[in-house]
Amino acid sequence: MDRALREARLAAERGEVPIGAVIVGPDGAILAAAGNRTEEMRDPTAHAEMLVIRAAAAQLGAPRLVDCDLHVTLEPCPMCAQAISFARIRRLYWGAADPKGGGIEHGPRIFDQPTCHHKPELYPGIAEAEAGELLRAFFRERR
């Protein structure tokens, strides 16, 4: 999660919402790390989770990331939660909860839907205080 937090801080420095993500492969090595780039790329799907899923899949040469784990600083949104399911991520660790835009414990609860084909193991609240403070500070500066 430390690397995901670092990616979130780098995203904030670029003027992006400070969310960072890391995918760890079956051998424990980092396959991909990224922060949000929606503004930079002018792409509403350029969330940190989507970027690392794409990068890890390309690196492995496979559309599924079986036995890979995702660490992200904020509860994934519904779009990212669905991509996590499609990618067959083994374990999902996240920092801060997202009552407004989350898709796992909040909102549509993607993994609890009968149409969801794969539910990763879930580990919420990892470095929650630090991840939450990064987000609060970012938005406080913009108000």
Which residues have a catalytic role annotated?
49
How many residues does the structure list for the chain?
A: 143
Can you spell out the DSSP letters for 71-101?
Answer: EEEEPPPHHHHHHHHHHT-SEEEEEE--TTT
- CA distances (Å), origin 35, targets 48, 56, 66, 132: 5, 14, 22, 15
φ and ψ at 119, to 5 degrees? Answer: -120, 120
Which strands, in side-by-side order, build the sheet including 69-74?
30-35, 20-24, 69-74, 91-96, 121-123
CA 30 to chain centre: 14
